[in-house]
Amino acid sequence: MIVVTKLNDKQLYINDDYIECIESTPDTTITMTTGRKIIAKESIDDVIDKIVEYKKNIYR
């Protein structure tokens, strides 16, 4: 799971396996496979970096 920061400064842990797509409109919008949308303060690149780091830690 990765941590993202919502616009109200609350942190949210999300399961990266359920991310369907990430858009910048201009805020970073993460769409989950359930249809839920999360607007995060992090950029798309930051979210992708968090996912890659998380996967590296799991599959070491």
Could you tell me if residue 57 is inside a domain?
no
Could you tell me if residue 23 is inside a domain?
yes
**pTM of the model as a whole:** 0.91
Could you tell me if residue 11 is inside a domain?
yes
Could you tell me if residue 44 is inside a domain?
no
User: Domain limits at 31?
Assistant: 1-39
3-39 per-position pLDDT tens digit: 999 999 999 999 999 999 999 989 999 999 999 999 9
DSSP-derived 3-state class of residue 51 = helix
Beta-bridged to residue 11, according to DSSP, are 5
Could you tell me if residue 56 is inside a domain?
no
pLDDT at position 60 over 90 = no
